[in-house]
Amino acid sequence: MLPFYGDAALLRQAVESVLAQSDPRWRLHVVDDCYPDPGAAAWVAAIADPRVTFERNERNLGVSANFARCLATATADHVVFLGCDDVMAPTYVADVSAAIETHPQAAVITPRVRVIDRDGAPARTPADRVKAVLTPRRSPDGSAVVLGGEALAGSLMHGDWLYFPAITWRRELIAAASFRTDMETVLDLALLMDLVLDGHRFVLLDTASFSYRRHGESASSVSARTTRRFDEEAQLFSEVATACLRRGWTRAARAARLHATSRIHAAVLVPAALRSRDRTAAGALIRHATRSASR
């Protein structure tokens, strides 16, 4: 699935990366959330490959509702929500398909990720450096790493090291939970934590077969300039801490209450908010960075 609202040129790169897969066992459905430029629809419609289909929403649904729409439309056993500006390596489908055969019960399978800028050059923002530190280490023999339970919950609460568009999900599991409509920038983490708390396993591959595009116009970057992301994170961390305590996962609950990387992220943005004389944003960022861990 490819939920689309953005640059038609970058969409083309994303779609072409799917068409270039070495393993032909894929289908691509593009869902246009009423982007004003009609060029993308025309280009996708002209693709002479029956595995590629396109639909346009009757009205703009917004980020979370369009993801929910994509999930409701999906029919395959496994689904990817490819970002409309991201790029799959030619071996992505082959790598994930092999992992599905080895780990058929896994809820989530993801390769490691390369980060690129708008022009496709390697990029590494402070956020990506933190993700790299938090990502579980590779196995000495190059095999996939299987994760779950309190250790995985605590890991993700210390900092979300996953890249949402790179994930292959087991559809039947996420269809039961679905995406939350009250969140936009952390809806993926909310769904991931639902799966972890329900006892499901994640598989992290050794291969880096996905390129995540990091640029100022992405949904996460725009929201990071506002306070919405941190409001959503605070709400989610509080909910997860409570759920972890119910399961006796005290270390994971502590990590959720502390949410150290989220606090640091907010603190790092304070100088920029002050330079732009946005006192409201600066105040909200400071409150999040200094929020009591007991909440």
Question: What are the pLDDT digits (tens) for 84-138?
Answer: 999 999 999 999 999 999 999 999 999 999 999 999 999 988 889 999 999 999 9
pLDDT band at 39 (very low <50, low <70, confident <90, very high): confident
State which amino acid sits at residue 18.
V
* Mean pLDDT, the chain, whole residue set: 92
CB-based burial label for 176 (10 Å; 0-12, 13-18, 19+): exposed
Task: Note whether 250 and 104 are same-domain residues.
Answer: no
Higher pLDDT: 184 or 82? It is: 82
Share of the chain above pLDDT 90, in %: 77
Domain boundary among 222, 237, 268: 222
Instruction: Evaluate if residue 216 carries a pLDDT over 70.
Output: no
pLDDT band at 224 (very low <50, low <70, confident <90, very high): low
Number of domains in the chain: 2
CB-based burial label for 274 (10 Å; 0-12, 13-18, 19+): middle
Domain assignment present for residue 295? The answer is no
Domain boundary among 196, 222, 248: 222
Residue in this structure with the two tokens 């993308």, named with its chain if needed: 40
From the centroid of its chain, how far is CA 277?
Answer: 31
pLDDT recorded at residue 222: 40
Task: Note whether 192 and 259 are same-domain residues.
Answer: no
Extract the tokens encoding 242.
Answer: 């409570």
Instruction: Evaluate if residue 223 carries a pLDDT over 60.
Output: no
Task: Note whether 240 and 157 are same-domain residues.
Answer: no
Task: Note whether 257 and 163 are same-domain residues.
Answer: no
CATH number of domain containing 204: 3.90.550.10
What is the β-pairing status of strands 145-147 and 202-213?
Answer: antiparallel
Domain boundary among 222, 250, 276: 222
pLDDT recorded at residue 218: 57
Task: Note whether 189 and 274 are same-domain residues.
Answer: no
CA distance to 41, 174, 244, 288, 289, per residue, from 264 (Å): 40, 30, 23, 9, 6
> pTM score > 0.85 for this model?
yes
What is the β-pairing status of strands 202-213 and 108-116?
Answer: parallel
Task: Note whether 167 and 283 are same-domain residues.
Answer: no
Task: Note whether 182 and 254 are same-domain residues.
Answer: no
In what helix (H) or strand (E) does residue 264 lie, and over which residues does it extend?
helix 260-275
What domain range is 62 assigned to? 2-222
Question: What are the pLDDT digits (tens) for 4-34?
Answer: 999 999 999 999 999 999 999 999 999 999 9
pLDDT band at 282 (very low <50, low <70, confident <90, very high): confident
